[in-house]
A = this chain, B = another copy of it.
Amino acid sequence: MARGDAVPRPKGTRDFQPSEMERRRAVEEGFRGLAERFGYREVMTPTFEHLELFTAKSGEGVKKQLYEFRDKAGRALTLRPELTAPVLRFYVNELSTQPKPLKLFYLGNCFRYEEPQSGRYREFWQFGTELIGPETPESAAESIALAWQCLTGTGLQGLELRVGHIGVLKNLIAALPITEAQKAELHRKVDKREPTESWLHGHGVPAAQASSFAHVAGLQGGPEVLDEALTVFQEPATRQSLEQLRQTHTFLEALGVKGAQLDLGVVRGLD
């Protein structure tokens, strides 16, 4: 027993007691069962990967958050900071000939070198799904319904579901007469729910265009917000995005997910 004496647990990590493990395993089993009911199948990848898998995706700057190291043969490796890139590596290397849509899920530990704070640890767990194949309103609704059922199944209270379509703002932003740097700034403003109309106008966007952009970015509610947006926009790609969002909402209701809020100001993932 002396061998365990006095050596502390590494900073930012956790030991899980039996009572905590029972809750964890119950949540995991819930996630796994739901994913399987939606036709997803589990995959698992190694705990460490070649460093370049993540630097190729996120740039060298990501290294300051990584637990990177060299193995005894000098290979640059890192503990994985997330699971999407490893699962896509697995797909590219070995699963690309599988019939589509390929529906995969994963549940594994990830590592980030960050200052520990409340609820933030250096080793943490990620559950996720990848649907590889044509993206349709039906498949989008299925992914959202699965995520929603996972969260509500944990017993968390006060959850709110907001669904957007990045195509809507993407098309509008593309049409604005501003620079790329200004577009990036605009993303940030929309994401933070800051007002945009006078900022756009101040950067040379015609008043009518600035006004309709700001109006749509602020649209939230039931399917009626889509009707409202459709009266404003005649551009085919934008109208198609709005129609896809309407179908996604319809499929969600069919899957038993009621009361999702449509939110045209959702830009997460747009860049």
Which chain A residues have a beta carbon within 8 Å of chain B's beta carbons?
1, 3-11, 13-18, 21-22, 24-25, 32, 41-50, 52-53, 56-57, 64, 67-73, 75, 77, 79, 85, 88-95, 104, 109, 111, 113, 123
Which chain B residue shows the least CB distance to A63?
B72
Complex Cα–Cα for A148 and B89 (A): 38
24 example contacts (A-B, Cβ-Cβ < 8 A) are as follows A1-B91, A3-B57, A4-B53, A7-B50, A7-B89, A8-B50, A9-B45, A9-B93, A13-B48, A14-B46, A15-B43, A15-B44, A15-B90, A17-B94, A18-B42, A18-B43, A18-B104, A21-B43, A21-B44, A25-B42, A46-B123, A47-B109, A47-B123, A71-B113
Which residues of the other chain, B, contact A16 by a CB distance below 8 angstroms? 43-45
- The answer to whether B18 touches A48 (Cβ under 8 A) is no
A42 partner residues in chain B, CB cutoff 8 A: 18, 21-22, 25
Interface pairs A-B: 3 shortest CB-CB? A69-B69, A18-B41, A13-B46
- Complex copy number for this chain: 2
A47–B1 Cα gap in the complex (Å)? 20
* A50 contact set on B, CB distance < 8 A: 7-8, 10
- CB-CB under 8 A from A8, the residues of chain B are 50, 93
Instruction: Apart from A3-B85, A18-B43, list 16 A-B contacts with CB within 8 A.
Output: A3-B88, A4-B89, A4-B91, A4-B92, A5-B92, A7-B89, A9-B49, A10-B46, A10-B77, A16-B45, A21-B41, A47-B47, A47-B109, A48-B79, A68-B69, A69-B70
Q: Which residues of B contact A45 (CB under 8 A)?
A: 9, 15-16
Q: Would A67 and B71 be within 8 Å (CB), given that A22-B42, A46-B15 are in contact? A: yes
A206–B268 Cα gap in the complex (Å)? 82
| CB of A18, distance to nearest CB on chain B (Å) | 3
A75 to chain B minimum Cβ distance, whole angstroms, is: 7
Complexed CA–CA distance, A53 and B15 (Å): 15
Distance to closest chain B CB from A242 (angstroms): 27
Query: Do B47 and A15 touch (CB < 8 A)?
Result: no
Tell me the minimal C-beta distance from A125 to chain B in angstroms. 10
Is the CB–CB distance between B92 and A1 below 8 Å?
yes
Q: Which of B49, B56, B92 contacts A10 (CB 8 A)?
A: B49
Closest Cβ–Cβ distance, residue A25 to chain B (whole Å): 7
Minimal Cβ-Cβ distance residue in B for A24 = B44
Q: Nearest chain B CB to A118's CB is how many angstroms away?
A: 18
